[in-house]
A and B are shown apart, each in its own frame.
Chain A
Amino acid sequence: MSIRFTFGGDEHIFAEVSEEMSLEAFFTGLSMTNAVREAGIRGVTEICPANASFQIRFDPDTIRPEDLLAELRSLEAAASKSDATLQTRIMEVPVFYRDPWTHETLMRFRERHQDPTATDLEYAARVNNLGSVEAFIEAHSGQPWFVSMVGFVAGLPFLFQMVERSRQIEVPKYLRPRTDTPKLTVGHGGCFSCIYSVRGAGGYQMFGITPMPIYDPEQKVSYLRDEMCLFRPGDIVKWKPIGRDAYDAALEEVGANRFEPNIRECTFSLAEFNRDMMGTNARLMEVLNGR
């Protein structure tokens, strides 16, 4: 995999590992960004890993753009040889699918959608040949997802499902982006799911909502006191479908600042995953469930 480097004006180098999404591309980008951080290159100001690419921001008054480019190229060979193993976290995120709030919102923006007569979930189930919304929710929540990028807005995770490509859910984005999306909406566009960390514009299909805060600029939520943003690239997420009662109960816990998400430390090896996806996922579920 040869990385395509290109300058983003005089302050950024943008690096595309691969045009298409894969965990291999993500891991190459992650090991490159780790290598850049460890190299401690003077003048580098921001290091941003993304799904199948990454971006370095720099101060051209400190390092000449072509010198930084040469440094990045020199790191490429070593980074591609690193074994893709992570010490990371697996966490459970409760999702109230078919909730009234995203439903109200999607009905307001029907004229921007591919199928104005269906809901986003009905449309997604149909274009993925899953037969019913129930079967779609089962496919969406049955196997874990990998956080392959954090961004767009503060703390928003992009998630890539840990299944064979033939089983991956793909759904186009809205024809024209909405001007509104409820906070904590679970959305999906292309092959990525996401959780909208703040209310605002968005183009992903809306499937449900989580009661679990993932971004807290006030740093009052018990598990967000040290870091405003919950997610980091490399985290693994398992959706847990919940109904209205469990959603309301969770919101009450959140309101009283007693909500404690289920988060466990785990290891992830890309080689192991590629050898046995279902076995790897089953082992991760055992870690999550404390067995």
Chain B
Amino acid sequence: MAVKVIAPGLSTTVQDLGRPGYYHLGIPLSGGMDRFALRTANMLVGNPEGAAVLEAVFTGPELEFTAPATVAVTGADLPAKVNGDERPCWEAFPVRAGDRLSFGFLRSGARAYIAVSGGIDVPEKLGSRSTYTLGALGGHEGRALKAGDELPVGAAPGAGGGSVPAALRLSPGTPAELRTLPGLYWHRITEAAGERFFSDIWKVAPEADRIGYRFRGGSPLEFVPRKQPFGAGSDPSNIVDACYPYGSIQVPGGTEPIVLHRDAVSGGGYMMVGTVISADMDLIGQLQPHSPARFVRVTMEQALAARHDRAAALARVRSHLRR
């Protein structure tokens, strides 16, 4: 069984739940940016939740199946079509040998997850099938798909089926609210700048990808004056190059915040004002350029409660699909 790539879409990559354990070498986690949608797509087709799927951004690929399979598309509202006939998102549907899966125009969200029963069976690299494009590692030949690629699909493990009703799905609001724990180099900016950072409405910049999401439109940060420490560099936003947490918000030059995501650069020389909490990372993966967003200040207790809520939302999908 295989999936043939007729047209690749803008940037379609193989992703699973990622490659932990190598961040100290600069190799990031990778994996689906919206892990909730990725897990759900796998559940719908009867795969283990961490099986490899295709992540398509803004535009979908066109695919042909060499054997019958069950397919599901979750995440962004990117209408799927089998041989031209539309299929609902967040619902399992069958395909036959020779069927073509294509996509209409994006209606909302940014990234769709296309799961195929059996999972995309590219070789594991460092324990994961995820594509880390910058390092040419994993996925299909370490890169986004191209027309003519043929992706192996594993043996289907069990029966899929069912659908996930809208009430059980998760998606960002307008403006998106990205809950943030201040910290890291927060003390480097003035109190007034910190208040504005959280009250301003920001917009996603066009430079938004798997490495990080850049935001524009808020006030520039004012720094607390200091003599720059040896080795840091001359700009007040410079630090001695250090590790970057996933979700950390760096602000080069104090102007445009960048939230690092699954393909994060593991470190660098820009101060970070805080970190988007783990529960809200999936939402970022569904933001389109120019969409509005706010950073919402939370405490560690609130972050852990949100993480718990997020796990409960996934558990609801699991129990719904088991019925």
B229 to chain A, nearest CB (A): 4
CB neighbours (8 Å) of B138 from chain A are 217
Q: In the docked arrangement, what's the CA distance between A47 and B23, Å? A: 8
Q: In the docked arrangement, what's the CA distance between A172 and B303, Å? A: 37
The number of residues on chain B lying at the interface, defined by a beta carbon within 8 Å of a beta carbon of chain A, is 54
Q: Is A185 an interface position by the 8 A CB rule?
A: no
From A11, A50, A66, B278 is in contact (CB under 8 Å) with: A11
With A11-B278, A19-B240, A50-B241 already in contact, the answer to whether A57 and B23 are too (CB < 8 A) is yes
CB neighbours (8 Å) of A12 from chain B are 245-246, 248, 275
Q: In the docked arrangement, what's the CA distance between A143 and B239, Å? A: 25
Whether B231 and A151, one on each chain, are in contact in the complex, defined by CB atoms closer than 8 angstroms, is no
From A10, A55, A217, B300 is in contact (CB under 8 Å) with: A10
Whether A190 and B269, one on each chain, are in contact in the complex, defined by CB atoms closer than 8 angstroms, is yes
Interface-facing stretch out of B78-86, B154-162, B260-268: B260-268
CB neighbours (8 Å) of A60 from chain B are 278, 304, 307
27 A-B pairs in the complex with CB atoms less than 8 angstroms apart: A6-B184, A7-B183, A8-B275, A9-B248, A9-B274, A11-B245, A11-B278, A14-B243, A14-B245, A16-B242, A19-B240, A21-B231, A45-B20, A51-B240, A52-B231, A53-B242, A57-B246, A149-B267, A153-B135, A154-B132, A173-B233, A173-B238, A190-B238, A191-B231, A198-B134, A198-B136, A217-B138
Q: Is A165 an interface position by the 8 A CB rule?
A: yes
Closest A residue to B239 by CB, please name it. A19
Most chain A CB inside 10 Å of its own CB: which residue of B23, B26, B136, B268 = B26
Q: Is A285 an interface position by the 8 A CB rule?
A: no
With A46-B21, A189-B269, A217-B142 already in contact, the answer to whether A14 and B26 are too (CB < 8 A) is no
List residues of B (105-163) whose CB comes within 8 Å of A's CBs. 125-126, 132, 134-138, 142
- 7 closest cross-chain pairs (CB), A and B: A8-B245, A21-B231, A9-B275, A55-B243, A20-B229, A151-B266, A12-B245
From A9, A66, A153, B245 is in contact (CB under 8 Å) with: A9
B56 to chain A, nearest CB (A): 23
Q: In the docked arrangement, what's the CA distance between A60 and B268, Å? A: 25
CB neighbours (8 Å) of A198 from chain B are 134-136
CB neighbours (8 Å) of B234 from chain A are 172
From A7, A152, A200, B181 is in contact (CB under 8 Å) with: A7
Whether B231 and A20, one on each chain, are in contact in the complex, defined by CB atoms closer than 8 angstroms, is yes
Known: A153-B266, A172-B234, A200-B134. 12 other contacts (CB 8 A): A7-B275, A7-B300, A8-B275, A9-B245, A12-B248, A53-B242, A60-B278, A152-B241, A190-B238, A197-B135, A198-B134, A217-B137
Q: Is A150 an interface position by the 8 A CB rule?
A: yes
Whether A48 and B246, one on each chain, are in contact in the complex, defined by CB atoms closer than 8 angstroms, is no
Whether A152 and B265, one on each chain, are in contact in the complex, defined by CB atoms closer than 8 angstroms, is yes
Q: Is A158 an interface position by the 8 A CB rule?
A: yes
B182 to chain A, nearest CB (A): 9
Whether B23 and A46, one on each chain, are in contact in the complex, defined by CB atoms closer than 8 angstroms, is yes
CB neighbours (8 Å) of A53 from chain B are 240, 242-243
Whether B26 and A156, one on each chain, are in contact in the complex, defined by CB atoms closer than 8 angstroms, is yes
A56 to chain B, nearest CB (A): 9
Q: In the docked arrangement, what's the CA distance between A158 and B26, Å? A: 11
A254 to chain B, nearest CB (A): 17
A62 to chain B, nearest CB (A): 12
Chain B interface helix/strand/loop/mixed: mixed
Q: Is A192 an interface position by the 8 A CB rule?
A: yes
A219 to chain B, nearest CB (A): 9
CB neighbours (8 Å) of B278 from chain A are 9-11, 60
Closest A residue to B226 by CB, please name it. A19
The number of residues on chain A lying at the interface, defined by a beta carbon within 8 Å of a beta carbon of chain B, is 55
Whether A150 and B26, one on each chain, are in contact in the complex, defined by CB atoms closer than 8 angstroms, is yes
CB neighbours (8 Å) of A94 from chain B are none
Q: In the docked arrangement, what's the CA distance between A191 and B238, Å? A: 12
Whether A153 and B134, one on each chain, are in contact in the complex, defined by CB atoms closer than 8 angstroms, is yes
From A20, A151, A154, A155, B267 is in contact (CB under 8 Å) with: A151
Most chain B CB inside 10 Å of its own CB: which residue of A8, A22, A57 = A8
CB neighbours (8 Å) of A200 from chain B are 134
Q: Is B24 an interface position by the 8 A CB rule?
A: yes
Whether A10 and B303, one on each chain, are in contact in the complex, defined by CB atoms closer than 8 angstroms, is yes
Whether B184 and A8, one on each chain, are in contact in the complex, defined by CB atoms closer than 8 angstroms, is yes
Q: Is B277 an interface position by the 8 A CB rule?
A: yes
B21 to chain A, nearest CB (A): 7
Closest B residue to A16 by CB, please name it. B242
Q: Is B46 an interface position by the 8 A CB rule?
A: no
A20 to chain B, nearest CB (A): 4
List residues of A (1-55) whose CB comes within 8 Å of B's CBs. 6-12, 14, 16, 18-22, 45-55
Q: Is B313 an interface position by the 8 A CB rule?
A: no
Q: Is A65 an interface position by the 8 A CB rule?
A: yes
CB neighbours (8 Å) of A239 from chain B are none
CB neighbours (8 Å) of B20 from chain A are 45-46
From A18, A20, A47, A217, B24 is in contact (CB under 8 Å) with: A47
List residues of A (212-265) whose CB comes within 8 Å of B's CBs. 215, 217, 228-229
List residues of B (7-38) whose CB comes within 8 Å of A's CBs. 20-21, 23-27
Whether B125 and A19, one on each chain, are in contact in the complex, defined by CB atoms closer than 8 angstroms, is no
Q: In the docked arrangement, what's the CA distance between A57 and B234, Å? A: 29
Q: Could you mark each residue 165-191 of chain A with 1 if its beta carbon is under 8 Å from any beta carbon of chain B, else 0?
A: 100001011000000000000000111
Q: In the docked arrangement, what's the CA distance between A14 and B234, Å? A: 23
Whether B240 and A154, one on each chain, are in contact in the complex, defined by CB atoms closer than 8 angstroms, is no
Whether A154 and B135, one on each chain, are in contact in the complex, defined by CB atoms closer than 8 angstroms, is yes
Closest B residue to A47 by CB, please name it. B24
Whether B125 and A217, one on each chain, are in contact in the complex, defined by CB atoms closer than 8 angstroms, is yes
Most chain B CB inside 10 Å of its own CB: which residue of A6, A18, A228 = A6
